[in-house]
């Protein structure tokens, strides 16, 4: 049944919102986290990046099927920004997913049948009041609070980015997502098609992300934070390249 994990059909969904916190790490500290066929997508040849995305997903289903059969769920995804040089020599930017969490057990089961994204189920609570938004999970020891006030946007202290234009290059999602087998001789490429992708910067008030802490990265810093809303999205059928 291994072929089922290769995204054997196109999938579509609608993102009500996506909050993305991007963390910068010295590239040497992240090199061991990606398979040999992938390379880190870096900034100034110094920093690599991990994104933490909280996505409010509606109607996830095989493309072309009616929306009412789809799955509605919250996703917390952990992704590394990478590049891949395909068999034709073309360089593709994309994401390598190291963990996915969802608040629906059904999505955990289906996600682990049809993807390599390492789904686990957890609790997700979202609180909104005015410009304040809090996302938390007691099971995952996850907490972030953000300020959606557009008039008070500041770059996170210590960020390697000096402007929002550079930061948006690492806001995600990127055009592709990649997965590799254990020996790196097979690379799965999933191309995403998005519309209405207009990330806006947000201020992060506070965060605690236990999964990132478990990676034991000593020099990780928050580089940027964005929110995107009302996004039609679909993923093409996966393509496998064998080396």
Interatomic CA distance for residues 96 and 79, integer angstroms: 5
**Arithmetic mean of pLDDT, 186-194:** 92
Average pLDDT over all residues of the chain? 92
**Residue 34: per-residue pLDDT:** 94
**What pLDDT shows up at residue 184?**
66
With a cut of 70, say whether residue 25 has pLDDT above it: yes
Give pLDDT tens digits for 72-114. 999 999 999 999 999 999 999 999 999 999 999 999 998 888 8
Q: State the pLDDT at residue 69.
A: 87
Give every CB contact of residue 198 below 8 A, 6+ residues apart in sequence: 228
The percent of residues in the chain predicted with pLDDT above 70, rounded, is: 97
4 three-class SS: helix
Residue-range domain boundaries for the chain: 2-236
Whether the Cβ atoms of residue 236 and residue 193 lie closer than 8 Å to each other? yes
Output the six-digit token pair for 191. 């191309």
Task: Give per-residue pLDDT as tens, 8-17.
Answer: 889 999 999 9
Q: How confident is the model at residue 239 (pLDDT cuts 50, 70, 90)?
A: very high
- The β-bridge relationship of strands 38-40 and 71-85 is antiparallel
The distance in angstroms from the start CA to the end CA of the chain is 21
Q: Long-range contacts made by residues 135-142, C-beta under 8 angstroms, separation at least 24?
A: 135/19, 135/54, 137/76, 137/101, 140/76, 140/101, 140/210, 140/211, 141/208, 141/210, 142/76, 142/208, 142/209, 142/210, 142/211
Q: What percent of the chain has pLDDT over 90?
A: 74
Cis peptide before 226 (omega within 30 of 0): no
Contact 203, 225 (CB under 8 A): yes
CA distance 60 to 14: 7
Nearest partner of 117 among 193, 60, 58, judged by Cα: 60
- What does DSSP assign to residue 89? S
Residues 104-161 pLDDT 10s: 999 999 888 888 888 999 999 999 999 999 999 999 999 999 998 877 788 999 999 9
What SS3 class is residue 182? coil
Residue whose token pair is 């059928």: 237
Does the pTM exceed 0.75?
A: yes
CATH for the 2-236 domain, from 3.30.70.270, 1.20.58.220, 2.40.400.10, 2.60.40.1180: 2.40.400.10
pLDDT of residue 151: 75
> Residue 1 has what pLDDT?
59
Q: Among the listed ranges 42-46, 74-78, 183-187, 239-243, which one has the minimum average pLDDT value? A: 183-187
């Amino acid at each position: 049944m291994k072929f089922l994990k290769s995204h054997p059909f196109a999938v579509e969904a609608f993102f009500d919102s996506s909050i993305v916190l991007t963390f910068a790490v010295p590239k040497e500290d992240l090199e061991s986290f990606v398979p040999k066929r992938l390379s880190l997508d870096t900034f100034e040849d110094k920093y690599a990046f991990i994104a933490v995305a909280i996505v409010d997903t509606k109607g996830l289903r095989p493309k072309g099927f009616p929306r009412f059969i789809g799955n509605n769920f919250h996703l917390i995804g952990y992704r590394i920004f990478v590049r891949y040089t395909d068999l034709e020599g073309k360089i593709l930017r994309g994401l390598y997913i190291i963990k996915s969490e969802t608040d629906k057990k059904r999505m955990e089961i289906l996600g682990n049948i049809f993807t390599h994204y390492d789904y686990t189920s957890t609790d997700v609570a979202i609180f909104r009041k005015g410009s304040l938004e809090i996302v938390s999970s007691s099971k995952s020891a996850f907490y972030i609070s953000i300020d959606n006030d557009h008039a008070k946007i500041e770059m996170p202290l210590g960020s390697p980015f000096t402007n929002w234009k550079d930061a948006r290059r690492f806001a995600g999602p990127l055009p592709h997502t990649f997965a590799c087998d254990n020996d790196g001789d097979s690379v799965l490429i999933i191309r995403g098609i998005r519309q209405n992708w207009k990330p806006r910067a947000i201020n992060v008030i506070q965060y605690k992300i236990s999964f990132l802490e478990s990676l034991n990265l000593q020099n990780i810093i928050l580089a940027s934070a964005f929110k995107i809303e009302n996004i039609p999205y679909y993923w093409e059928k996966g393509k496998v390249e064998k080396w």
